Structure 1
Amino acid sequence: MGLHKRERGNKEKKERINVRNLLAYGEIYHISQALSGASKAGIRCEEKVRACDSSPCLWGGTCLDLPRQEYMCKCPEGRHGAKCESETDRSLAKGHLVPDFNGFGCLLLPRVPRAGRSLSLELWFLARSPDGILFYVGQGVSGQNASLAGDFLSIALVDGHLVFRFDLGSGPLTLRYPEKVTLGEWHKATASRHKRQGKLTLDNQKPIRAESPEPLSELNLRTSVFLGGLKDRNIEDATLVNLPGLDGAIQRLLVNREEYLEDFGDSSLGDGNISIYQGPPCHPNPCLNLGQCLPLLGDYKCLCPKEFRGKRCQTVMSAKEQGTPVKFEGRTFLKFPNLVHRSRKTQWENHFVVTLRMEPGARSSLILWLGRGGKRRKDFLALSTAAGRLELGLALSHKSRPIFLKSSHRVDDGEWHTVEVHRLKRLLQLRVDGGQVQGRLAPPGSRVLNSNGKLWIGGSDNLPDNLPPPYYDGFVGCIKSVHVEETELHLVRHSSFDLQLNFCEDGT
């Protein structure tokens, strides 16, 4: 390479060629020296050039390198655009920003890790046209024969029907949902694959399933995620080549249960074909008193300033409500959506700190619950009282038996106690009042806690069957504070329910 041999009679002549740049597998390299017949080790690629090396992001934006020499700018608050060049409307910046597509643009997001065996997607979208690309990711095979060689996974609207396709290398699988979407309304699409098995559902209706052709069962993905359209048409899924981009908006994207749009307000808005959605449920803002509107498909949740509560932050909180411990009376069930205290569902690790006071002589009961919902017992993490002591329960699969960890000290003495709960994969730990850490390891198997992200405090009236009997009784006592990871939950303001609560007079 870089060295030609030319025969002239019986003489061989070596020509020197200067090589300045090398393009290999989508990356550009500078060559530090020319090649010649005297070269000992051949090519030395001492410097790898990345798209972010030119510092394209303005106004202090952070540049993230993507495959194929692409980049994405994470912009500071109040800025947006491909290079953070535009100022965000302050009235919109106060809430959750939703990208709006006009059919000609696309949003580039980071590539999907660990998608070989399984991949799950949840997409909340609104469409104004019956045809459009929602989601695409591929293997990144270049050339005219890309559609014949590479793996891919895509979701699109075709004639109003939701279509989910993927190819593992043995031929494509196509799932077309029978019911059409309603234009101008919010929908939730859920698509997943495990090896060759694919599943698709719309708005929590009955799913449809099928298998891709044998024998291959691994999905190889290398490109960035293309949301709402495509940047070029040299892709593996030939059915998308002539399909327009989405004319509509995307409210939420979960990839393997992880948020992919949580930083949209700080990231690229593309090339002018993507704007900020201004429509129901959060525009105009229904939240009063400077509350932030969090869209939940066609509904919304108001994140209120600390002085207010209620569905629309319409109720002024008294001094007692702002700082006095909440009294739990056996039927005081508070639910907290995961988007309030954490943007991603906790699968690998959980950490809670609860300050509580249990009434002497109170029955065994449930204090904290994190599970999957439904009537069948699946994964869960629970904190309860059992015969005057605290007890942790953990199940990482509906097939495995739950494990339980009971505190060595009693807490039914009418005094305040601080309880620390920590789970790291299969390891469960409990500590009371800064004392010795107690631990127990779940049996080998699953290390992931799959939950619906909803945290219940004080008990729940929506529990599955076949749980320990104390779980079906609500906590009786007082709770002063609850911390989830590094964030403190306000028991009144953050709760999903606008309940009339009672308070413990003695907060000391």
Structure 2
Amino acid sequence: MPGFDGARCQQTTHSFSNGYVLYPPLAQCEDSVTSIEFATRMDTALIFYNGPSGSLANHQPRDFVSLALISGYPQVIVDHGSGNVTLYVDGKAVRVIVDRCQSSEFLSGSESVEDRRPCEASGSTLGRNKYLNVNHMLQMGGRYDVLEYPPGLTRRRFDGCIRNFIHNGELYDLHTSRHHPGENHRNGCPEEDSVCNTIQGQKCGPRGRCQMVVLGQSDVECTCDPGFRPSEPGSKKCDTKTSVRDLKSRSYMTWTLKNEMFNMLAKQEVSFQIRFRTRDPDGGILLHLPSNSQEFITLQIVNNHVELTYNLRDDTSSLFDHSLSLSSAPANNGQWHTVHVHRIGRWFQLKMDSGEGRYFNETFGSNKDSQFFYMKRDQIVAGARVSFDPSAYYNGKGLTQTCITDIRIDNMWFPMKSDENSISPAAILEHSPEVEHGCNRTDCLGVRCPAPDENYIAQVCYPLFDHYECRCPKGTQPYTGVSCQPIKFCTDPSPCKAGGRCIELVEKRTFRCDCPKGWIGPTCNQQASTVPEGAVFTAGVTPEVIIIIVVSVFAVLLIASLVFLLLWVVNRGSREKSILYDDQYDDIRENVMDHDEEGAGEEDQDCYDISRLQKPNSSMDRYQPLTAKLLGRSYTGDPPDVGDFIEDKLRDIDEDPTAPPHDNVMEFDFEGFGSDAGSLSSLNTASSDNDQEYNYLEDWGPKFAKLANMYNSGEEDL
């Protein structure tokens, strides 16, 4: 799948625009190796940080590891140690190497002593702790918090692309979903994608992996998938399968490098790969690279596993063989395997297939080993040990039951047939005795699996490359011994989802799901689209869509017009109210104020009894009889004349003796100003010229009886 080029379909690249993203924390081991590749134009930025986040209590661990660019140079901080890019942790010691020190300079006359100061830094953490006590998310590209801890860590986020982040042999999957925590980041590398995928198509073809050499430039490096190569000289497109050769007894193949290829070889670095399948358990040579002296690099099958044996000669001119193996990964199981070896100086990396876990191993070699390897131009061998005296002949350690293909040195493919010599950029095939084309096997020819029990199904033969097995055929499962029985697919739990009905297809030894409405898929696991089956869509706007748009616009305009008309009618009716309409809030006279309006002269603005200002009801008539009963006037439906309306109102007020305003309206407990009596005792005086009856006070109850007697007794004394 494009973009997911890891062995486990991991996405190996990710880009940032001054952002960050969170990944699972780094696995902590006593011995750890971390490597990362990145491309950026920034000189200072944080690449990744794995350590505490949020507020820290005094007892919480403060361990962390970080990688940053500071003024253009990589900086690694592990607690209080520092270094750059590839982090190597060996217990307490910390070693950091940039680009494997490929460009380091050697002392004059030495092949092992080099000046690594520009590309390597080392140190040791304080105290006795050997492990990084970190259980926090790995923050890549920057940090999501702005804590002061750890001090001195740059807060600038990364802008660029990161790829191939590997920790302890595990390739991280850098893919993120839509809701993955982070900001200003995206899958892949847009600048690399724009260079690798052009209008003319993919630069590396359908079976090649494209990588940008320099950020922002058009140069790319193509790596073909195992088993594929370019079809033409000078082409980078991986569009042709590599030829497969079958090694028989005492067979081998030899090559001689072409001049252009030989001149490109670097004495300090080399990489090669081979793809094979074998049943040979021990001792066979997969690929042998000789040197001009006695040094060599050999890949072979030893004790069912792949082993790399090499000799680079130490500074004492002694020859000691070193080995690096994948002892936990079986290689002779008949399956196709791809082995890749990469060497820089005395560092070797050995990978098979996915290159993770047990399929990965590496060594940093001995300090005494030479870091130069002068590969010989000819006598490159695959399949067996071969001697040249002067012609090549078989000398043991031959592979049997083995097929090989896709041999490369420094990503240049080797010819597997003589007619490929002219188009191969790397070498010329010289010898291939006892080697057959293809990799055909007849493992099941003439094989009859044991007869099954009565009424049961027989096993069938499955070829497994120079081996076979009798297995139950598709749609069946083992019953007893060598007998098979049909798989009852529709038994509980049903494979059909969403309430679908499972139907057994006995003849085809499979099943079918009858999905309910709204569900589709082999197991009714997908919601159906509302589009009729077989509908064909064309690009552009169809007439039906245009009609829908026009009708929708017309409906919106019609609704808007009706709303506007309704508002206009309502507003017009409110403006044409009767001239007699009395709005109590539309009085602007300065001497008319609301009762609860401040400044009106009332002592109590909120709790005054407004009923005291109203007309007395009929219950007060017996205390102050009226000369005439006023009756309210009724009006007809016709609007009255304005003058008559005003005269009627004035007449009602003038003829009402109880209507305010009174001479003085005072609170009950207030004395003075408008009263002739200065106190209650003055009520007994004859200062008032008006006579008044006080008998009605007796009707107010016992509380006012004494007051009534006092008033009446005063009158009698007079």
When normalised by structure 1's length, the TM-score is: 0.48
- Bigger Rg over Cα: 2
Task: Please identify which structure carries the higher strand content.
Answer: 1
Which structure would you say has the larger RCO, counting Cα contacts within 8 Å and 6 or more residues apart?
1
When normalised by structure 2's length, the TM-score is: 0.35
Task: Please identify which structure carries the higher helix content.
Answer: 2
